[in-house]
Chain A
Amino acid sequence: MTQTAQTWIILGATSSMARAMARRLAKEGAMLILCGRDMEDLTASAEDCKARGACEAVAMRFDARDSTTFATIIDHAALNEGAINCAVFVGSMPEQSAIDADPSLIGGVVQDSHVGPATFLSMLAPHMEDRGQGTVVGVGSVAGDRGRIGNYVYGSAKAGFATYLSGLRNRLTRAGGHVVTVKPGFVDTAMTWGIEGMFLVASPDAVAKDILRAVAKKKNVIYTPFFWRYIMLIIRHIPEFIFKKMSI
């Protein structure tokens, strides 16, 4: 551990997984930059993090569909000494049926889940390279591992983001940085509340704990909870001629 406080930019900080991670970082005395669109909510979370031990916590506006919001955040983070880290929780998942009815929604999903965060990270990467340290946590989804009838547009955006993260890892590793790709299974969030067919649902805090352990151990790709690695291993290996007839 370094002596200076760690700076963490958290994109999509209103999500319950991001909140749980911010709280854990707050207890370690981190400097937090909580980013998203609901400023009232982010301000409350920033106050909460300060009360729980964060060295500093600020709320800043980030909109994945508006790249003019990106530079201010990065400039603010660059004022701090030491490592700049970034965790990405953004993404959007409209009902697949809504997308099938209105294919113009696809652009927004890809923008929120892939293009926006990838653009942000590519703007941040030179700062990380300059400092020779820093970790990126990219939250993907098990939905990105294989296209399924229920959410293949969201899945394809997450798959694209996962491939981007793998390339970014390749790039930052040689400069002393690191990238952790996180693939959560079902998590008990507002997104999954009331959706039928959920099983083995994990709490946001359990996911946050897994993520921070992966950061400390410099893991490359984690599934959380861990058993999703095996579930997805099986799902990825189902031959396509069978898979195409399945509805899971």
Chain B
Amino acid sequence: MTWNTVTYAGWGRARSATGQIARPERQSSLLRDIAGFAAPAFGMRRSYGDVALNDGGRAYDMTRLDRVVSFDAETGIVEVEAGMPIGDLGRAFAAQGWIPPVMPGTGFATVGGCIANDVHGKNHHVKGSFGQHVTEITLLQGAEVKTITPKSGAIWKATVGGLGQTGVIAKAKLQLMPCKGDMMVLTERRIDNLDAFLAAFDESKTDYTVGWIDATATGAHLGRGILEEGEITSGINTSKEGAKAVPFNAPGWALSAPVVRVFNELYFRRVPAKGRTSVKPITEPFFPLDAIHDWNRLYGKRGFNQFQCVVPPERVDVLRLMLEKIGASHLASPLAVLKKMGPGRGGYMSFPMEGYTLAVDFPNKNGSEDLIKELTDMAQDAGGRIYFAKDGVADAAQVAGMYPEQDKWQSAVEKADPEGAMMTDLVRRLNLRAKES
């Protein structure tokens, strides 16, 4: 049977959808199905909110199309099916001396999703965004099969970071990057406050840099955390990684304010005051939470939302205000990340821009949505923007003006999908495709 009625959710589980899903296992069945019925596609649903959901409509589950289609060992160009998890790709080629130049915070994200959200990694300041390393995309628009490249113009820039609105990504070619091995030298050190963090980012010279922030800290400790700096090094990881799993939904108090405060204190002190350096398999610093399957269950059955924004480098003041607001709310979870971004971006609607990006998880409970909305307003006022791969809360007016090339994207999308068959819940909620009159 092609269509199966399923209730499914984004990774945060605060948003869900019910609709008919097809899960083709071969390219030939994908082509046949989409020629018969055009609908949006999703992969592992690691986006937090509703960008991959289509409530009441149909969608394609791409996870069974997860193969390497070809690999050129001379050039390092690999073609893969869109449903391939990026971590699998990394693992398959690291031993052969190649690695995807950009990997997001979870290896479970699929290549199709990485393109559609133009994801970034801990090396954004060096390598830019994921889409900048994609060399070709096979795009399905109804019965039409299109092969596009960076030379294809508007359709390319509307597809990379384009939230799947130009068609279903069936396959893609990526330029891999040569690497010495699959181990990473990782240096961790404590950072006492926000100013120290920003200074540390400026001084950092490593390829991979990210900051964990204690979002519960206030006053003199506001913005304290741990800076992680890494470089890929030689050596091949031979250990068998076993993953743990969260077997059931955690109760509400598991991530309550006092628990999070204690956890963060311990997490901060885990790194000795003088810092430490270790050598780890790259999967650990790249995908720290992948070792715990279904960790989203820690937030209980109501789920959680993540707020992620980027603000221009000169608006550190807003960053500070945001952290004060979050600290005072007692709603933050242990997961909070700060990173300095470079200018690299691949498409019209790509999230990255030069500045500082802040990401914080909030359990879906009393007042957290209001807080996220306030933070979204602050990002908008500061000339920053929020990340659609994370959002499940904002409303249309709040994102207006955040993406300066939105009109170009709209024109290309209008041409590629005039019927609006590829619309998803997020695109509808934020009214992203409606042109301002």
Contacts and interface: CB of A to CB of B under 8 A. Distances in A.
A51 B68 contact: yes
A16 B83 CA distance: 14
Nearest to B71: A51
Contacts of B4: 193-194
A190 B4 CA distance: 11
Contacts of A50: 68, 71
A28 B4 CA distance: 35
A38 interface: yes
A40 B69 CA distance: 10
Contacts of A40: 27-28
B69 A38 contact: no
B25 A190 contact: yes
A47 B94 CA distance: 17
B1 A194 contact: yes
Given A51-B92, A194-B3, A194-B4, A41 B26 contact: yes
B71 A38 contact: no
A41 B68 CA distance: 11
B67 A48 contact: yes
A45 B23 CA distance: 17
B28 A38 contact: yes
Interface in A100-140: none
Contacts of A53: 92
B318 to A, nearest CB: 45
B1 A14 contact: no
Nearest to B96: A51
B interface, how many residues as a size bin?
20 to 34
A38 B3 contact: no
A248 B155 CA distance: 52
Contacts of A193: 1-2, 4, 23
B67 A47 contact: yes
A16 B25 contact: yes
Nearest to A42: B26
A146 interface: no
Given A38-B26, A38-B28, A193-B23, A47 B1 contact: no
A195 interface: yes
Contacts of A194: 1-5
A88 B243 CA distance: 31
B70 interface: yes
A45 B25 CA distance: 11
A52 interface: yes
B93 interface: yes
A75 to B, nearest CB: 27
Contacts of A16: 25, 64
Interface string A1-19: 0000000000000101000
Contacts of A41: 26-28
A45 B93 CA distance: 16
B82 to A, nearest CB: 13
Interface in B3-33: 3-5, 23-29
Contacts of B68: 47-48, 50-52
B1 A195 contact: yes
Interface string B55-97: 0000000001001111100000010010000000000110000
Contact of A44 (B1, B29, B67): B67
Interface residues of A, number: 18
A4 to B, nearest CB: 21
A44 B69 contact: yes
Contacts of B25: 14, 16, 189-190
A193 B33 CA distance: 14
Interface string A92-105: 00000000000000
B70 A47 contact: yes
Interface string A185-214: 000011001110000000000000000000
A40 B27 CA distance: 9
Name the residue in A41, A45, A51, A195 with the highest tally of chain B Cβ atoms < 10 Å from its Cβ. Answer: A51
Contacts of B70: 47
A103 B27 CA distance: 32
A14 B26 contact: yes
A127 B81 CA distance: 37
Interface in A37-78: 38, 40-41, 44-45, 47-48, 50-53
A47 B3 contact: no
B31 to A, nearest CB: 10
B67 A190 contact: no
Contacts of A14: 25-26
Contacts of A47: 67-71
Interface in A163-198: 189-190, 193-195
A38 B27 CA distance: 10
Contacts of B67: 44-45, 47-48
A232 to B, nearest CB: 25
Contacts of B23: 190, 193
Given A38-B28, A40-B27, A40-B28, A51 B93 contact: yes
A11 B69 CA distance: 20
Nearest to B4: A194
Interface string B331-368: 00000000000000000000000000000000000000
Contacts of A195: 1
A204 B237 CA distance: 27
A52 B71 CA distance: 11
A168 to B, nearest CB: 29
Interface of A: 14, 16, 38, 40-41, 44-45, 47-48, 50-53, 189-190, 193-195
23 contacts: A14-B25, A40-B28, A44-B67, A45-B67, A47-B68, A47-B69, A47-B71, A48-B67, A48-B68, A51-B68, A51-B78, A52-B68, A52-B92, A190-B23, A190-B25, A190-B29, A190-B64, A193-B2, A193-B4, A194-B1, A194-B3, A194-B5, A195-B1
Task: List the 5 shortest-distance A-B pairs measured between CB atoms, nearest first.
Answer: A194-B4, A194-B1, A48-B67, A51-B68, A48-B68
